[in-house]
Amino acid sequence: MSKQEFLARLRDGLNGLPQDDIAERLDYYSEMIDDRIEEGLTEDEAVAAIGAVDVIVPQIVSEIPLPKLVRESVRPKRQLAGWEIALLVIGSPVWFSLIVAMLAIMFSVYVVIWSVIFSLWAVDLAFAVSSVACLIAGLVLILRGGGSAGLVPIGAGFILGGLSVFLFFGCLAATKGAAVLTKEIAAWMKSLFIRKENGR
Amino acid sequence: MDNQLKRGLLDVCVLAAILDEDSYGYKIIKDLKPYIELSESTLYTILKRLESAQMLTVRSVEHDGRLRKYYHITDAGVRRIEDFKEDWKEIMTVYQFVTKEDHQNHE
């Protein structure tokens, strides 16, 4: 691949980022390629040494904060005409509430995921607490002369205790899973803003 | 190596690479190669981060009919390296403790 082709592909991939950012990154990679060529590599080799565009682009996008991406994709590319501004103002009850709704949906996705995790831990805690309560109740029964009747709550206490330990590892795995999931959702939201720009 | 740890180390490595004399992107990567792995895009992020933290400054110099960016370390950057050396002494003390425990447990 030639240097020009590499830079063109990179520019396409980064479309949707702030223009200054794109220009600066293209300059940076261009300098990297030129320095390698100066050292004796062919243009093809120098480009190959930088790595694949498909790998570099997601890396760059993941490092840019989401608010910056959003800001850039809603910023008009030219001066707005008077009637456009008027339309924006008149339409504000519609688009503003749509944006609020979108943010609310994003937020609720997070809430749903994490409330499942929260309730799992709550169940586990309930098992652990009731296990201790059963053990204490059983011991009290025996000490008060209840005899073998105290064995039932003690047995139940052990079963509940076992379940809570078992569930603990399940909860841990679920929490890790949810953390990965929310991270992936965030990455996906970012990719929406990039893809939208490319589609134009 | 742990990502968080590597990130901190890379910052100091890049500063150390421009400590003696101003340097440019490709040279920094070449100089660090024997010590730590560093890709072009990672270096870009680090340089940006260090620049906004005012630990280095950037200037463009004409070279062979094109522009090349040279990075110059600031006093804050030099201090960052000194802090790292201090931190490292503490880490080495902890390291000695940890490896000593290992040793005792396996006897």
- Average pLDDT on B90-100 reads 89
Total residues belonging to chain A: 200
Min Cα distance A107 → chain B (Å) is: 28
- Residue A196 predicted with pLDDT over 60: no
For helices B75-106 and B3-17, angle between their N-to-C axes, nearest 10 degrees: 140
**A36 closest CB neighbour out of B26, B45, B66:** B26
Q: CA-to-CA distance for A33 and A30, rounded, in angstroms?
A: 5
Min Cα distance A49 → chain B (Å) is: 10
Annotated domain spans of chain B: 3-106
- Residue A199 predicted with pLDDT over 50: no
CB A68 within 8 A of CB A18: yes
Is B62 part of the contact surface with chain A (CB cutoff 8 Å)? no
- Residue B15 predicted with pLDDT over 70: yes
B91 or A71: which leads in pLDDT: B91
- Residue B65 predicted with pLDDT over 70: yes
So what's the pLDDT on residue A200?
A: 40
Contact B40 A50 (CB under 8 A): yes
So what's the pLDDT on residue A117?
A: 93
Phi, psi of B22 (to 5 degrees): -60, 145
Write a three-state SS string for A87-140: HHHHCHHHHHHHHHHHHHHHHHHHHHHHHHHHHHHHHHHHHHHHHHHHHHHHHH
> If you write DSSP's letter for every residue of B41-76 in order, what string do you get?
HHHHHHHHHHHHTTSEEEEEEEETTEEEEEEEE-HH
pLDDT digits (tens, 9 = 90+) for A107-147: 898 899 999 999 999 999 999 999 999 999 999 988 888 77
Contact A38 B64 (CB under 8 A): yes
Number of Cβ within a 10 Å radius of residue B87: 12
Q: Which of B31, B38, B39, B44 to mutate to test the interface with A (most CBs of A within 10 A)?
A: B44
CB A140 within 8 A of CB A133: no
A105: tokens are: 């949906």
> If you write DSSP's letter for every residue of B17-32 in order, what string do you get?
HTTSS-EEHHHHHHHH
Residue A195: band (very low, low, confident or very high) from pLDDT cuts 50, 70, 90: low
**B66 closest CB neighbour out of A28, A34, A50:** A34
So what's the pLDDT on residue B100?
A: 83
Residue A75: band (very low, low, confident or very high) from pLDDT cuts 50, 70, 90: low
Q: Architecture of B3-106 per CATH? A: Orthogonal Bundle (1.10)
So what's the pLDDT on residue A58?
A: 82
Is B40 part of the contact surface with chain A (CB cutoff 8 Å)? yes
DSSP, collapsed to helix, strand or coil, labels residue A185 as: helix
- Average pLDDT on B42-57 reads 91
Min Cα distance B31 → chain A (Å) is: 14
- Residue A55 predicted with pLDDT over 70: yes
Q: CA-to-CA distance for A35 and B24, rounded, in angstroms?
A: 10
Is B99 part of the contact surface with chain A (CB cutoff 8 Å)? no
- The ipTM estimated for the assembled molecules is 0.82
pLDDT above 90 covers what percent of chain A?
29
Q: CA-to-CA distance for A164 and A167, rounded, in angstroms?
A: 5
Residue B85: band (very low, low, confident or very high) from pLDDT cuts 50, 70, 90: very high
